[in-house]
C-alpha cells in the first residue's frame, strides 16, 4: 500500500472504523514511514483543535423568547377553538347591537316622516282651494265695503299702495293669478312637504292672516304657496274638519253657533271664504260625536278627517258650511 492509500485510511483509523486486516497494514506502514506518521499526528492535532472549540453559552433570554413564541403559536389555536365551540359569545352582542340599531333607526325615521306621510294622504285640493278662495273673498269684501259703486272689484287703491311696484296695467292680469294659485299650491304641497322653516313661519303667518286681510294680501305677493302649505299643514295637524252642506247658510250658521254654545265650545272665529262659511271652535274631544249628531239635523255632514279617537281634552274643529245650490256670487 502506498502512502496516499494509507493517508486515505487515517481518518477511519483514528475513528477505529476500519477492518482489522487493514488496520494491521496501516500500523505496519506507520512504523516505517515518517511522512505518514506525521500526517497521522497532524490529523490528530487538527481534530483536537476542532474539538477544542468551546461550547457557546446561548443568551439567558433564549428560553423565554422561545417559550413566548411557542405560546403565541398556541394562543390563536385556542382562539379558533373558542370561536368554533362558542360562536355566540362573540356574535350575540353584535347581533343584538345590530337589531337595536335597526329598531331605533326605524322608530326615528317613522316619527320624523309622520307629518309628511299624513300630508301626502290628506285631501289637499279642497283645503288649499278654500284658503286661496278665502283670500280672494276678503279682498273683494274690502273693495265692496270701501267703494260700492266701483265698476270692478279690482284695482283697489289701498291694495296697490301695499303692493310693491304694482303698476295699474298689471292689475288686470293679477286678477287671474290668484285664481290659478290653488292648482299650484296643490301640486307643490304634494311634492314638497312643509319644511321646518315653513313651520317656524307658520304661527306668524297664521296670526297675520286672522288679524287682517290686508296682511294676507301682502303675504300673497311674497310667498303665497308657502302660506297655503303651512296653513294646510296647520289644519291637518290640529283641526277636525267637518263639512256641512245646507240649504240656507245664514240660518245654518246661527243653528251651529247655538249647538256649539250648548256643547260648551268656544268659537274662535268665523270666516267667509268664497261661497263657504267656516266656523272654527275649540271643543272637548269627547263631545265631537255629539256635535256631529247635532249637525246632521242641520244639514248633510261629511267628516274629512274621521274622528280623532285618541284625542284627550280640547280639540279644534272647523265646520265648513256650504250651500247645496249654486254659489250666490
Give the shortest CB-40-to-other proteins separation in angstroms.
Answer: 11
Q: Judged by CB, which is closer to other proteins: 76, or 306?
A: 76
Shortest distance, CB of residue 27 to other proteins, whole angstroms?
18
CB of 61 to other proteins, least distance (A): 9
Query: Rounded to an integer, what distance in angstroms lies between the CA atom of residue 151 and that of residue 144?
Result: 11
In the complex, the smallest distance separating the C-beta of residue 25 from other proteins, rounded to whole angstroms, is 17
Q: Of 62 and 90, which has the nearer Cβ to other proteins?
A: 62
State the DSSP string of 171-208.
Answer: HHHHHHHHHHHHHHHHHHHHHSPPPHHHHHHHHHHHHH
Q: Shortest approach of other proteins to residue 103 CB, angstroms?
A: 44
Whichever of 3 and 47 has its CB closer to other proteins, that residue is 47
Looking at beta carbons only, is 78 or 165 nearer to other proteins? 78
Beta bridge partners of 288: none
d(CA 63, CA 66) in angstroms, rounded, equals 5
In the complex with other proteins, the residue whose CB is nearer, 53 or 326, is 53
Would you tell me how many other CB atoms lie within 10 Å of the CB of residue 221? 13
Of 18 and 307, nearer to other proteins (C-beta) is 18
DSSP state of 263: T
Burial letters 151-175, b for 16+ CB under 10 A, else e: eeeebbeebeeebeeeeeeebeebe
The CA-atom distances, in angstroms, between 192 and each of 48, 91, 225, 226, 271 are 101, 43, 11, 10, 28
- Tell me the closest approach of the beta carbon of residue 102 to other proteins, in angstroms: 42
Give, for 52, the enclosing helix (H) or strand (E): helix 34-52
Q: Could you tell me the smallest distance in angstroms from the CB atom of residue 1 to other proteins?
A: 16
What lies within 8 Å, CB to CB, of 253 at 6+ separation is 270, 277, 279, 321
C-beta closer to other proteins: residue 45 or 262: 45
Interface residues toward other proteins, by CB under 8 A: 8, 11-12, 17, 42-43, 45-47, 49-60, 62-63, 65-67, 69-71, 73-74
Strand partners, 278: 271, 320
Give the whole-angstrom CA distance, residue 305 versus residue 122: 8
Amino acid at each position: 500500500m502506498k502512502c496516499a492509500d494509507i493517508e486515505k485510511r487515517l481518518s477511519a483509523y483514528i475513528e477505529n472504523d476500519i477492518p482489522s486486516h487493514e488496520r494491521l497494514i496501516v500500523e505496519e506502514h506507520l512504523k516505517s514511514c515518517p511522512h505518514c506518521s506525521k500526517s497521522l499526528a497532524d490529523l490528530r492535532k487538527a481534530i483536537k483543535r476542532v474539538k477544542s472549540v468551546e461550547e457557546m453559552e446561548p443568551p439567558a433570554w433564549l428560553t423565554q423568547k422561545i417559550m413566548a413564541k411557542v405560546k403565541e403559536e398556541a394562543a390563536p389555536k385556542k382562539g379558533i377553538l373558542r370561536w368554533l365551540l362558542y360562536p355566540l359569545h362573540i356574535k350575540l352582542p353584535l347581533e343584538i347591537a345590530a337589531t337595536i340599531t335597526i329598531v331605533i333607526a326605524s322608530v326615528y325615521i317613522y316619527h320624523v316622516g309622520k307629518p309628511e306621510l299624513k300630508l301626502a294622504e290628506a285631501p289637499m285640493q279642497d283645503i288649499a282651494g278654500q284658503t286661496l278662495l278665502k283670500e280672494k273673498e276678503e279682498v273683494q269684501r274690502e273693495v265692496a265695503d270701501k267703494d260700492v259703486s266701483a265698476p270692478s272689484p279690482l284695482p283697489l287703491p289701498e291694495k296697490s299702495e301695499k303692493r310693491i311696484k304694482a303698476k295699474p296695467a298689471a292689475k288686470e292680469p293679477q286678477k287671474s293669478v290668484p285664481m290659478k294659485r290653488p292648482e299650484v299650491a296643490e301640486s307643490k304641497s304634494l311634492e314638497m312637504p312643509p319644511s321646518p322653516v315653513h313651520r317656524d313661519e307658520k304661527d306668524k303667518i297664521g296670526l297675520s292672516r286672522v288679524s287682517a286681510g290686508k296682511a294676507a294680501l301682502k303675504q300673497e305677493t311674497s310667498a303665497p304657496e308657502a302660506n297655503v302649505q303651512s296653513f294646510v299643514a296647520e289644519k291637518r295637524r290640529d283641526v277636525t274638519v267637518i263639512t256641512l252642506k245646507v240649504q240656507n247658510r245664514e240660518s245654518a250658521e246661527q243653528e251651529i253657533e247655538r249647538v256649539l254654545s250648548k256643547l260648551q265650545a268656544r268659537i274662535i272665529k268665523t270666516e267667509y271664504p268664497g261661497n263657504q262659511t267656516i266656523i272654527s271652535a275649540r271643543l272637548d274631544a269627547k263631545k265631537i260625536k255629539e256635535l256631529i249628531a247635532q249637525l246632521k239635523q242641520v244639514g248633510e255632514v261629511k267628516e274629512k278627517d274621521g274622528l280623532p279617537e285618541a284625542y284627550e281634552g280640547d280639540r279644534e274643529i272647523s265646520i265648513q258650511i256650504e250651500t247645496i245650490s249654486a254659489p250666490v256670487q
